[in-house]
Amino acid sequence: MAGNSKKAILLIIDGLGDLPTPKTPLQMAKKPNLDRLAKNGMTGLLAPVKRYVVPGSDTSHLQLLGYEPSIFYHGRGPLEALGLGMDMRNGDVAFRTNFATVKNGRVIDRRAGRIDTKTAGALSRNLSMKIEDVQVEFKNSVEHRGALVLHGPGLSHNVCETDPHELGPVHECHPLDASREAAKTARIVNRFTEITGGMLSAAPENRKREKPANMLLLRGAGYYEKVPSFTERFGIEAACVAGGALYKGIARYLGMDVVIVPGATGDRNTNLRAKAQASVKALQDYDVVFMHVKACDSAGHDGDVEGKKRMLERIDAEAVPILEKSGAYIIITGDHSTPCCRKAHSGHEVPILVCGKGERTDGVTKFDEISCAEGGLGHIRGKDIVYLILNLIEKAEKYGS
Amino acid sequence: MAGNSKKAILLIIDGLGDLPTPKTPLQMAKKPNLDRLAKNGMTGLLAPVKRYVVPGSDTSHLQLLGYEPSIFYHGRGPLEALGLGMDMRNGDVAFRTNFATVKNGRVIDRRAGRIDTKTAGALSRNLSMKIEDVQVEFKNSVEHRGALVLHGPGLSHNVCETDPHELGPVHECHPLDASREAAKTARIVNRFTEITGGMLSAAPENRKREKPANMLLLRGAGYYEKVPSFTERFGIEAACVAGGALYKGIARYLGMDVVIVPGATGDRNTNLRAKAQASVKALQDYDVVFMHVKACDSAGHDGDVEGKKRMLERIDAEAVPILEKSGAYIIITGDHSTPCCRKAHSGHEVPILVCGKGERTDGVTKFDEISCAEGGLGHIRGKDIVYLILNLIEKAEKYGS
């Protein structure tokens, strides 16, 4: 489509990179479309944050979208809350939450028996409340997950988590500095935990559950501060197509519009065709679309080589041809490696490809961790990506004259 | 050995890189073991400090071990003194020293006829003394070499050297700024030089020497300040296996344990098998072992291509197989190039290889300056090395969540 000749789609495949055992999932996957784009374009290896630094998904996406995390990252909680559509004002504090099962003050299941979304939704009614002069807003998302926002004056994110991250005693929330703000925040968190613990224990939805969702565990404290928008900073309009709350939240944080796509679930059942079609459609109104696919990372965390390979094959078959047909420049990479053998993020670089009409090419014909090491982009960094896109679509401002 | 699967050995071959005349010593050397590691692992080129910056061995090692020299390098003297086992306290000042032969106030041999270590040791008795409120401690090391530490209040390293670095008049020590501290330090250095000059001239050991060691020349002024330890900064335990005082001193400066290896001399007769065995043994107690081999640099300074090649072949035959058998991740590189044709350090990058179970590979099959330019690590920098190691051994802290 000629109208897209100065537009770009940035596809981030979460946790894309891996290690060879003896081949990587990318090397094993049948992915004729990705390989063709690699052949017709330029490839390389991307260090999302810095060489060998192990990125979180939050810091990495900020960096890939041009927002240096050492300046713009203030914790995970606010990004999750924004992704659930919750409003945040300067100075608000937010947490990620888990419904958990607690017995005699000890967590016996951090996910309350992987509670279903519908039951969690029913339990979530009336869990928002005012404590002191702070409005405490809770919202559940998928299964046991949710977010908590504290709106009000004099708060601090410098408090410890109540989530022990393992089975064992629930942590009390303590201030992590001597400030009045941290003391107040910890007090409110503890009061909220106590009140909601009582409400949940008494909730009819929990009565028949073997693993009652009788506690909200908090982690990922962060504060919200409005940042200059992506458009203000880079002079182009951007939209986001994603399933996972974090990615939608990051987009909202940066002032990008989030396109709602039915069937975009953020898991391995996500509707990739619908997401790709929505991305291409959004090019009518935006210069660049950031499309995110989560499930490869989840498979990596599960150590599921076969699942990661299958998801890559789905992306190749279902999403890539639609993106390619748009006529836009296409950049495909990941936010970090999640090697299946480690079941965790790693600091290994991630393959990247850049493809579009009239762009340079290299000799690489396959899109994988080993082949792309020989690519013409060399070793590039997360902070280069926005400038790469601006240059591709001829929207870069000249530096000097 | 399975117990080493999350450990690493960093082998630094001092002055490793060279220029082709028409081949480099690495290209000429028979080194089947290094080449096999290159083939089984990833290779690249390392700029120890910055691209094309000519590093000293001191600044380069600090950078390779994660200590930015612009922050943590305070002169060579303290590192040499620490390497000789001398104690230093915050604010102490130290110098490297040479026994020299002086006649009528002029240096006629900067190394006192390359005085042997035993005679130098005998001459060194009673050269420590108190001047004003400063305790001046001298210690000799190998041949003409030694170190001097000034313990006391109100000192400064900002004074000139007494070593003229060529034949000619001994320099008087002058303060290099208007501070009271620099004036005091220069006064003490000059007094020390005068007193020890008299003592050495009268020493019986000098009577029969054609080139009497009748003067201590001072250079490399620096001050000591305790820095956060390697373990505090990176969360892993590290040990050092080295012959040369500087390298042991750097390790002590960073709070690493130094393994004493009989036969580790820091010259071309060093016992490489013993050093490699000690490195592997240290893996039982440490996460990473930094092993240093000096003699390739010395051969480079001497313009001795054949000697450099032979030393590389010794490393390949005697050390590498022992390191490889440990099962640990192995990183082999240099701290800088010392091209034989220049007889000096240069700013050319140094080959690097990284090898270990389950890691990515590339198409490079030889370990040398030319082959490694095509390696999958690309062009990496000294400051990346600690993060590379942390990522390899899965001890990196995630940045973000």
- What CATH number has the domain bearing residue B384? 3.40.720.10
Shared-domain flag, residues A171 and A237: no
Shared-domain flag, residues B180 and B97: yes
- Other CB atoms within a 10 A radius of the CB of residue B130 amount to 10
Residues 328-347 of A with CB under 8 A from B: 341-342, 344-347
In a domain, A109, yes or no: yes
Shared-domain flag, residues B15 and B57: yes
> Which residue of A14, A18, A27, A54 is the best one to mutate when testing the B interface, meaning the one whose CB has the most B CBs within 10 A?
A54
List of chain A residues whose C-beta atoms are within 8 Å of the C-beta of residue B374: 374
In a domain, A167, yes or no: yes
Name the pairing type of β-strands B106-109 and B329-333.
unpaired
Shared-domain flag, residues B219 and B233: no
- pLDDT value at residue B3: 84
Give the predicted TM-score (pTM) of the model.
Answer: 0.95
* The last residue of a domain, from among A167, A196, A223: A223
Q: What is the pLDDT of residues B310-333, one digit of tens each?
A: 999 999 999 999 999 999 999 999
Shared-domain flag, residues A61 and A173: no
In a domain, A118, yes or no: yes
Please give the distance of CA A100 from its chain centroid, rounded to a whole number.
22
Name the pairing type of β-strands A93-103 and A106-109.
antiparallel
Shared-domain flag, residues B264 and B385: yes
Asked whether this complex has an ipTM greater than 0.85, the answer is yes
Residues B186, B155 contacting (CB under 8 angstroms)? no
Shared-domain flag, residues A321 and A370: yes
pLDDT over 80 (residue A338):
yes
Shared-domain flag, residues A272 and A159: no
pLDDT > 70: percent of chain A: 100
Q: What is the mean pLDDT of residues B83-102?
A: 97
- pLDDT value at residue B2: 64
DSSP one-letter string for B92-140: -EEEEEEEEEEETTEEEETTTTT--HHHHHHHHTT--EEETTEEEEEEE
In a domain, A400, yes or no: no
CA distance B120 to B114: 10
Strand positions, DSSP E, A33-115? 42-47, 93-103, 106-109
Q: What is the pLDDT of residues B205-234, one digit of tens each?
A: 999 999 999 999 999 999 999 999 999 999
**Residue B117's domain spans which residues?**
79-223
In a domain, B313, yes or no: yes
* The last residue of a domain, from among B173, B194, B223: B223
CA distance B110 to A110: 72
Looking at the structure of chain B, the number of domains it has is 2
Shared-domain flag, residues A332 and A377: yes
Q: Smallest CA–CA separation between A387 and chain B, in Å?
A: 21
Between chains, do A342 and B394 touch, taking CB under 8 Å as contact? yes
* The last residue of a domain, from among B199, B223, B247: B223
Q: Smallest CA–CA separation between B1 and chain A, in Å?
A: 19
List of chain B residues whose C-beta atoms are within 8 Å of the C-beta of residue A57: 400-401
Confidence label for B266 from pLDDT (cuts 50, 70 and 90): confident
- pLDDT value at residue A5: 87
Residues B213, B144 contacting (CB under 8 angstroms)? yes
In a domain, B401, yes or no: no
> A350: part of which helix (H) or strand (E)?
strand A350-355
Shared-domain flag, residues A232 and A169: no
In a domain, B397, yes or no: no
Shared-domain flag, residues B182 and B200: yes
pLDDT over 80 (residue A261):
yes
Shared-domain flag, residues B274 and B186: no
Q: What is the mean pLDDT of residues A328-334?
A: 98
- pLDDT value at residue A266: 87
- pLDDT value at residue A116: 94
